[in-house]
Every structure is written in C-alpha cells, then in structure tokens.
C-alpha cells in the first residue's frame, strides 16, 4: 500500500521505504505467512502477556 501511495519514488534507493519493501518481499519468500497465521499471531500478542498461553 505504501508503494502504491508513494508511486515510483518509493522505489528510489535513497528512501527507506525501498529497503523496507525489498526486505518484506524477501521475508515472504523465506517464511510465507498466510492471512490466518498473521491474524493468529496478532491476536495472541494482543490478548496474552509474554509467555502466557490459553492451555490449561
């Protein structure tokens, strides 16, 4: 979305957005997160304290 918003200038190496976009694309190849995995991780981080789980 940020790249679409900023247009072609977002891909200039002088801007930090280009590096973030490139890194995020590479990260997706190394560990392909699905929408379900992202939602699950986000929910766990919001609902539980560090180390806490919902297991009895």
Encode pLDDT of 15-32 as tens digits: 777 777 777 777 667 676
* The pair of three-digit structure tokens given for residue 22, joined into one six-digit string: 């490139």
Residues 6+ apart with CB under 8 A from 17: 2, 3, 6, 10
What is the Cα–Cα distance from 47 to 43, expressed in whole angstroms?
6
b/e code 29-46 from CB counts within 10 Å (16+ = b): eeeeeeeeeeeeeeeeee
Judge if pTM exceeds 0.85: no
* pLDDT score for 18: 74
* pLDDT score for 38: 81
């Amino acid at each position: 979305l940020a790249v679409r918003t900023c247009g072609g200038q977002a891909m200039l190496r002088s801007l930090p957005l280009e590096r973030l976009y490139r890194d995020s694309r590479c990260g997706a190849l190394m560990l392909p997160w699905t929408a379900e995995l992202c939602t699950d991780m986000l929910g766990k981080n919001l609902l539980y304290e560090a180390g806490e789980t919902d297991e009895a």
